[in-house]
Each structure stands twice: as C-alpha cells, then as structure tokens.
Structure 1
C-alpha cells in the first residue's frame, strides 16, 4: 500500500507492514532497492523465553492491517499481529500494533508502535527494540550524527573487503571504493550517543543533494535514563531509531516479564524527515535537519496520533521544584544543585532508573539555582530521581509522585545529602559519571579513524585498551597525590596488560599519598565511583599488598562492554569503603587497586572519581571553601 502527501511517498507491504520504499524529489526509492522488501526498513526486536536460552531476531511482520484515518490532512494506518497459545513457541508473546502517519505538507512520515503483553502470558525477555532503515548505498555516503561527527562513510562492500580486527564490528578498510578512507578503522560503536544528545542523525546524498534523517523528539519511551548510550547511524548507509538495547548496559538490561506480568508500552512516534536543496554543502541540509528537530521537539507531545494509548498534552501533567545539596564539608549552607539531572521514572531503589526499560522516564536539567520543571508527563505513579554533576551518588525522593491528567505538582525544595563521612583528604577525577577527564591516548599507528584526530571525543578511537600496554609495558600505573595530574597520569581505563597475542594479565595500580596525624581510632572512608565495569573484579589493599585477602572487593561486576565500544562510560557504580586509622601510617601510604580478572582485553573498569575522606569533624568546622 502507498501513503502519499505530494512530497513523500511511503510504500508499505501488506499485511506485514514493512517499509519497502520511500520516494522523494523524483527518486523512486531512497532505500536500498537491491535488498528484499523485508530488509529495507522495518521494526525489530530481539527476544527470548528465559527458560529456553535461545534468542530470536524478529522483524515483527504483521498479519493484518487497517486504515485508521484518511482525510485531507492526515493518513494513519495500523499493522497488527496478535499472539495466542496456538501461535507456537517461535512466536513472540506480544500483541504488536505498528502505526505509520503522514500529514499534509510535511516532508516525511511518523511511526510508532504499541507492545502489549497480557496478564498470564508466557515469560518473556526483550533485549532490544528499534526501527532500522537501510538506505541506497550508491547515493548516501555522507553521514552526520552531530555538529562535529560527520564524514564520508564506507559501504558494506568496503567493510567486507577489509580486515576484521578484535571483533566483527571493527574493520580496517584495506581496499575501499573511496581511496581517501583507505587505512582507517570503521566501527559502528564509534558513532554511539547519549540518549539526551540523540535527537537527529542521518545521511546525505551528493547527487541529488538529499538528506534522510531520523528525528526522536523525546526520550520518554527510551530506556536507562538521559546518559544511556546507544547506536545512531553507521556504515552501510544505515540509520536506527533505538528505543532500548543492552549496549553499554549489559545482558541483564531490557524488558523482563515474569509470572504472567502484564505490560504495555508505546514507542514513538519518531519522525523520518527528508530534505533537499540545489547546492552541494552537507552543512545546509544538516542545519535544516537540526531546525526541523527543534520544531518537532517543541511540538511534543504530538496532537495527531490516534491510538488511545498515546496521551495528548491535556492528558499529561507537570512537576516543579528545586533541588539543593547539603554537604557541610563543602559549604555550611545548602547550595543549589546546579545543572542537576532530575527525572521521574518507575518506583524503585536508589539509581534504579539506569536499569529500567519497562516504563517511561521524564528528565530535565535544573538551572543554576537548582530549579526544575518537567512537563508532559504521562499520568502514573513515579519516583523522583536526581544526580548532580560534581557530586557523587544518587538522590531519590522519599515519597511516590502521583501524576494525574492535567495536574501540576509543586514539590517544593528538596535536599540531597550526598555520601559523606568526613573532609576530603584527596581526590582523583571529577564526579560526572564519565572517565573523559582522564588521559586518553592517541590510537596506534594504522588503527585510526581520522574523524577523531584532535577531537573532544578521541576516546572513540579503536584499540585504545592496548595502548595501556604500550605505555606501561612492564610496570603498572603509579599515581602520586599532590604530584601527579589525573588529566595526564591516570589512564582512562583500568584494563589488562597484553603479554602475548590474545593473552592478557591483570594489572595493579597504586595511589601514593601522605597522611599527617593519623587518627588511629577514627574511621576513614574511600569513595570509589566507577563510570563503567565489564566482567571486572576490583580488589583493594591498604599499604600491604601481600595479605592473601584484599581489604575490599567488588566481586565480579558489570557487562556494559563500554571499553570495547568506545563509550567512556557505561553503567554507574558507587562504593563506600571503610578504612581503619590503624591501617594507615603517618607519612607515606599506598592504596593498591587490582583489576583481578585477566585473559581478555575488554575486561576492566573505568573510574569516575576517587576520594579519601578523613574522620568526621565538628559541625562548626568548615574545611573546604
């Protein structure tokens, strides 16, 4: 079937609801016509039944369709697939309703879907949900993800002809059709993006000068909060609208439905925008796409989707308040939580929002005085969560927040008491949930992506994990408090040392520091914030590394794989470790940090921030201005 508003023509297979063609400006199909109709544009999920241990890649081909609306201003069609017991073990136990919308005078189309798991249905794991677009590779060679991440990209053929590196996604381009990119590394994870920054990305064709853009106007239906990372566009002229995946989170992330739990969620709408001009500068189409993204964001929530599951603006609520921080070792008074991330997400434990994929999340950033307003919230019961750049830990409001249709909640002043026992004796890094402030090396010669030369995101380069071995070939990192500079002397990832091909051994880092007038009976506290962990076990010794048992161990934690995927952060972890004054000496002390799990280049952690606190002091003493 075809949807045509005189600007864009969308061709959908019926009854399966696959995107077979997108016609624009005399181009019969901007999608890869050489692919099967079922592989050009499609919704998909990765799912499994937890008792089977087998995953399915499912393109959600529907079994029926109907026209919901057909007026001079709007067309909306629905493609559905319903589950019942007779569907068999290989059918996902979900009811699926895929929707496509076209509006008069709009250069593009919208798509959204409703997933529904009814009460009593079989247990289900969904690891990923997205929309994928495969564009015409002979036309679309130039990709844009952000203002400073744009470039000519390789084709699928270029990658097939190249040399696979440590994993299949990373390829050294040895004989590309465009000689300018010969010798570079291509890896789709080099173009990942935080949810909060992932609003528009896509491709540009030179002849004719046409742009294809995926615009996501809100994060409410995405998972894992504002700094959860995921893919955008990548080689092979592919663009994705990812709603959730376990990338940068681990295999436990996703929708897990147990014991007949009912669940329903609306994903989207996202907007597919097409533009063109008579020139040849990619920047003009990119700037126009950004302007369109801004318009779409301001229109959210849209007033045109016709599913009753999508609440319009008058069916949503608002919350306002102010977040303050109380840390007497920084300031006697409470201070505004400047630029705090404040959000509503399903009720849970402190920080549970970063592991949530089932529910909706609504986030904003507070202003310089800590004031925040979150608008357009779906009616439901939430917890209010927050974290503050420059402050460790997570805040959770003690009571549930109830949002009713049309309600405006004034929650007032909230005070966050971050983890703190005593004054700061020393600190390493900045508590911002990333490792970006630490030393990030240049890539090895011959393993470079030229886009990231002298780039603020140089951590996106391939193979940086092995650069640790190049810098510390025989002895591990030693950091001396008061002498070393974490920007130059603290490697961004605590990884294993390569001792032979495919053989890696654990590494032990040392922090050297002086303590004067040790309080023997006083408790000291080591705060350890991790920006990422992947199959790691961090063990800590105080002054004596030869004791059989470490003073502290995290146990084996994390599977976010952010080191391999050039992420600079994954899932956040925070540990508070008690240290007795009897373990310290007046003068020189050493903390040993051992990443104890070897054998793999990608096993390790990225630190966010480390702080040693002294014993508590009298409330009348202010120790830090």
Structure 2
C-alpha cells in the first residue's frame, strides 16, 4: 500500500502539490459542465458554478453538488475521485430527506421525500469561506405533493478544513393555507463506495469490518422475523456466514452519538459524520437514533420515531408557525500518515469531534436563524437530592442530567419534538452549567441516575442574549412515602442490569460476543424467555433471588407449541413480619420501555377479575425487537392497602396479557415497595 500523507485541519503543502497534479488529470461528478476547476493551492476556497452542478474546493477536498437540487453527487479526497457510491444515481449518494404525513383527508401518509431544491444561491464567497444555499419553497399548489415546509439547505466549506458542513432551515408558515402535517423523520444520508469502505466505527466497543450490501440480497441472506434483520447464509466474505445483520444493532443515544463513520483500507481514508451539539435533535439525551450501518451508509438523524413511537413525531396544525435550524453537522475526511494503520483514523476522528464540540456554536454560518455565542445565554447552579430515608443530609446529584427544554409538565422533555433542548451532565458536586442556549423561554429539567422520577424547576427561565443566570442550589425530592421494604434493579431508565441471555447460536453478531456493554444487541433474545421458562413464568423471591441473574430483561409473551403466543405473569414473593392493615403501602414501578403492552398488578390473588392497577395498553417504542435496552420512561406510583397484605409471605403478580406478537412487551427499570410513612 502506498503511504499517504495525513490531511487534517491544517493545510499540508505536500498534499496540495499532489492535489494540483491530480486535479488536472481527473475530476468527478461534473457531468454536463463544459469546464471544471483548474489547479489551485490551499490559499483559499474556490467555487465553480456549472449549468447543472456546483463545485466547492479548498485544496484538501472537492465537493460536487447538483444544481439546483443540492444533492451531494461527489466528494473527491486524497486521490480518490469519489468517496460516494459511483454505482448509484446522483440522487442516491448524499442527500437530505423527510418522511411526512398529511393531517387532513388528502390520504398522504408516510411519504418519503428526498429534498430536491428548486433555487440555488451563493451566500458567501471568499477565500476563507464558501456558503451556498439550495432552497425549496412550498406553496398551496404543492399541497399533497411535497412536505408543507420551506426548506433551505446550506453547505459550507472553510479554508484549510478537511471536510464540509451542512445545515438546513425548516419553516412552516402561520397562514391558513399551510397544510397540517406530521414530520416522521428528517436526516442527512450518505452512501459510500462499497468497494472501498468496509470498516465501520460507531463507538470504541462497536467497530469492525462489516458485511457488504450484496450480502443482504436474496440468495445470500435469509429474512428474519423482524423486518430489516437478515441471517447471512451465503455472504461474499465467508467469515460472515451465520451472522445476523440488522441496522438497529448499531443505534446510539443522542448523548453518545457525536461521531461515527467508515474507513477505507486502500486508500486509507476515513469518512465521518460529526454532530457537535444535540440542541436540534428531539427527545433529549437518551433518545436513540440510527447512525452508520451496512450500505455502507452514514446518517445524521435529526427527527425520528425510533425507540419512541408516535410520541416523538412532531405534529403541526394548519397554519401553525414553526421554524427550526437542523445542524450544522460536519462531514470530516481524514487519511493516515506514513506507516500508520488505517484504523487509527477512528482516534483522529474522535479528536476532531472534540475540536468541533469546543467550537460550538460555530461563528461562520451566515443564516441569521443560527445565533452565535454572543446571542446566546448560560444557566448554572447546583442540584442536590433530598431523601431522608437514604441520608439525613442532602445528597449531591452526581452525574445528573440537567437540561433546558420548552415549558411543559414534569418529564415532558423526553416527548418534546418541535423545538430546541440543551443538556449537560452535573459534576460530582452536583454543579452544572448549561452554556450557549438560544434565546427563549424554557423550563429547567433534570433526572438523577440512582433516583426515581423527574425534576422540574418551579419557575420558567428566560434566556436573553449574553445572560448568565445562576439558579443557586436546587433541591430534588424524588418520589418517596415511606421506607424501602425491598427493591429490584437500579433506577437508571435502563434494563441493562437485568439478565440478558446468551444469544441463539443461529443469530449471533460476533461484535457483541463477550461485549457486556452491548450484549443486549443480539438478535432474537426475546425468544430465549420461553426457553428459560417453558411452562411456568418467572418467580423472584426477595432476599434470595438476584435481579442480575433471575430477572429477565424483558417481560414478553411465551411461544406455544402451535407457534402462537400467550401472555405471561411474573411473581415477586416477599415476607412481611408486621403489616399495618389500615395503612397504605406504595409500589413504585418504573418502566424502561413498552411496546403495545400492559402491566396488570394484583396482590396475593392472581385470579382476581379486576387488577389492583393496570397501565392499560401503552408504548410503541419497539425497543425489544430493535435491540434497545430502553425506550421511553414510564413511572407508576401504586397504592396498596395494608388490608391486602398478610404477615408472612406475600406475592405481587405482574401480568402482561398482550400476546398478538412476540415483540410486545415491557422492560422494567426499577421496582420498589415502600412501607407506610413513619
């Protein structure tokens, strides 16, 4: 393999000479233009406008966009004519897209639309920066044809930068002519060359050589029960035979989804999508999104219903005004220095991610809808937890997630999906600082790992440009009526601490073997419940059982011999030496996820016609089938009359009766029984 020079944020003069020679010899994706860009140095960024294409070049890389559509048709870098899939049509290489539904009688539902702009405009053109706009306005004549929003896609390239930026402004006008609609998804997608990019990295413990897209085709793959998952029966590379490929095995939470991408071994090139801020993503820090997966595909998802369902689909009424900026995100390309292994490009990408994070908010976007740091504000304070049944003193909220989100009820942030959110993690002292917040009115929310429930500051917070608000010491008093009699699990909004079984050998992804942080990502684990409990359901005995071994990670239906499914009833057995029959005991039941499921609670009588409590049918997060260890968080506080309890052995029955599909079920976060108040 021929050694390559490393190309980073600073311009390498040796590479510039090579680029000048290469640029004279070969160009990509310019199609019908008459003449392309000539030789250049890294003294600045240059722009060429063709009849049907626009080319931006800074001597490190060259990006070609369709005109006026604004689709990324080519990215030339480090001697490779195009890192994007040249076998695809130009409209299927790099693009923004939406999935939308009309909220009227037009019948338009789940419409997938690649955003093809109709207007092109140069916003900035200097040696330091080029910013171009590709916009697609909407008017009532397009009703039912296109998503009823104005969309302005922007692409930015800077001098000396080994990549390019993209962001977009979406707007729904406050006029009665503007159709009501819902926005199911919007994202940027890049399809890379399958003959080059074979190694994928989304996290330190989730990176590997990946199957080819051809391996998912008929004859090479066997479809599995859940759509988009396949068993590789005859892959091009024999080492993948018998593995499962499913794009949902590689999803990430927003808080961890800051850099991901692909590496080519020959030439050694990395292609990375870097998201330096989550302010424009929906659902808060725990919302899970797709990122990179077999294709090779690299995504930046901004709005999506995955792992949440319809709760995270924003809905806009007729004439409801709305505007939001998605991005900028950074598409970063890198290459190795002489003698370096290509996989070290992942470490360089993580370093570049921190550069981008520390540069946020960027000062270069030309749109007035993207405020720089001077037009933003900060909030700081300290969060403490007060639970006198644990400690007589207030407890510092170490590792608490503290955020600003639009005004709403306690915990409403996890279902908020229209506007901006700003989150941080508190220090061990409980101190927090939320910086660079857009001007507007917010509530301050928090949740603390290790404690139940959600916190909301009782006063709204108004952010003005340049403000620095100190809210002082805040006290969170988590739900608590009496002393803990027993508890199962850890209140951290995840089922990861419970028993995750070994996968069926037929459904293994080798990446997750001996990988305790991601063992729940194996396909088909829900079917293991019926194997572990073929005739009788789970029984957990307080004081004897260990939730890490004896509490299955998900309560799902059991497959019967005729391949139908039946609901399941779990038991929690516990002893009480003394019962206050006139008092009220409290059962705290926190759920980490739910999919078309129900939990019925009965005490000491499993056959009682009416349960003491039922959640009713809840949840559409599909987290069990999509290998997520949590979806949306649910908390139920259930009163149990002491008259229902006895001195000696008691049993709480948790029945999940829904059984139309193997994917229906509940993932528990934490269960606690409290005695009467002191």
Bin of the TM-score, shorter chain as denominator length? over 0.9
Q: Work out whether residues 504 and 600 of structure 1, in 8 Å CA contact, stay in contact via their aligned partners in 2.
A: yes
Using the TM superposition, give the Cα deviation of residue 98 of structure 1 relative to its aligned residue in structure 2, in angstroms: 0.1
Query: Is 1:5 aligned to 2:5, yes or no?
Result: no
Partner residue of 1:56?
111
d(CA) in 1 for partners of 2:346 and 2:143? 46
Query: Is 1:499 aligned to 2:499, yes or no?
Result: no
Query: Is 1:330 aligned to 2:390, yes or no?
Result: yes
SS of equivalent residue, structure 1 residue 439: coil
Partner residue of 2:604?
543
Partner residue of 2:368?
308
Partner residue of 2:123?
68
Query: Is 1:251 aligned to 2:315, yes or no?
Result: no
d(CA) in 2 for partners of 1:435 and 1:213? 31
Partner residue of 2:156?
101
Unaligned residue ranges in structure 1 (runs of 5+): 618-625
Larger radius of gyration: 2
Query: Is 1:221 aligned to 2:276, yes or no?
Result: no
Q: 2:639 aligns with which of 578, 602, 614?
A: 578
Q: 1:359 aligns with which of 390, 406, 419?
A: 419
**Which shows bigger deviation, 171-180 or 47-56?**
47-56
Q: How does 1:474-485 map to 2 (within 5 A)?
A: 474-485=535-546
d(CA) in 1 for partners of 2:462 and 2:645? 49
CA offsets per residue over residues 542-590 of structure 1, 9 Å max, x none? 0001111111100000000000000000000000000000000000000
Q: Work out whether residues 109 and 273 of structure 1, in 8 Å CA contact, stay in contact via their aligned partners in 2.
A: yes
Q: 1:82 aligns with which of 137, 142, 145?
A: 137
Q: RMSD across aligned C-alpha pairs, in angstroms? A: 0.9
**Which shows bigger deviation, 272-281 or 566-575?**
272-281
d(CA) in 2 for partners of 1:301 and 1:240? 21
Partner residue of 1:468?
529
Q: How does 1:124-203 map to 2 (within 5 A)?
A: 124-160=181-217, 161-203=220-262
Query: Is 1:566 aligned to 2:627, yes or no?
Result: yes
d(CA) in 2 for partners of 1:151 and 1:501? 39
Using the TM superposition, give the Cα deviation of residue 252 of structure 1 relative to its aligned residue in structure 2, in angstroms: 3.1
Q: Work out whether residues 384 and 395 of structure 2, in 8 Å CA contact, stay in contact via their aligned partners in 1.
A: yes
d(CA) in 2 for partners of 1:280 and 1:466? 44
CA offsets per residue over residues 300-321 of structure 1, 9 Å max, x none? 0001000000000100000011
Q: Work out whether residues 209 and 279 of structure 1, in 8 Å CA contact, stay in contact via their aligned partners in 2.
A: no
Partner residue of 2:506?
446
Partner residue of 1:524?
585
d(CA) in 2 for partners of 1:326 and 1:280? 52
CA offsets per residue over residues 253-277 of structure 1, 9 Å max, x none? 2221114210000000000000111
d(CA) in 2 for partners of 1:148 and 1:399? 41
Using the TM superposition, give the Cα deviation of residue 332 of structure 1 relative to its aligned residue in structure 2, in angstroms: 1.7
Using the TM superposition, give the Cα deviation of residue 480 of structure 1 relative to its aligned residue in structure 2, in angstroms: 0.2
d(CA) in 2 for partners of 1:251 and 1:21? 35
d(CA) in 2 for partners of 1:511 and 1:280? 56
d(CA) in 1 for partners of 2:445 and 2:120? 40
Q: 1:587 aligns with which of 629, 648, 651?
A: 648
Q: Work out whether residues 601 and 655 of structure 2, in 8 Å CA contact, stay in contact via their aligned partners in 1.
A: yes
| TM-score, with length taken from structure 1 | 0.98
Runs (4+) off by over 2 Å: 278-283
Partner residue of 2:47?
none
Partner residue of 1:622?
none
Partner residue of 2:402?
342
Using the TM superposition, give the Cα deviation of residue 446 of structure 1 relative to its aligned residue in structure 2, in angstroms: 1.4
Partner residue of 1:261?
320
Alpha-carbon spacing, 1:262–1:500, altered in 2? closer, same or farther (3 Å): farther
d(CA) in 2 for partners of 1:407 and 1:205? 46
Using the TM superposition, give the Cα deviation of residue 281 of structure 1 relative to its aligned residue in structure 2, in angstroms: 2.5
Q: Work out whether residues 203 and 211 of structure 1, in 8 Å CA contact, stay in contact via their aligned partners in 2.
A: yes
Partner residue of 2:76?
23
Using the TM superposition, give the Cα deviation of residue 279 of structure 1 relative to its aligned residue in structure 2, in angstroms: 4.2
Q: 1:119 aligns with which of 168, 174, 184?
A: 174
| TM-score, with length taken from structure 2 | 0.90
Using the TM superposition, give the Cα deviation of residue 53 of structure 1 relative to its aligned residue in structure 2, in angstroms: 5.6
d(CA) in 1 for partners of 2:629 and 2:501? 13
**Which shows bigger deviation, 317-326 or 424-433?**
317-326
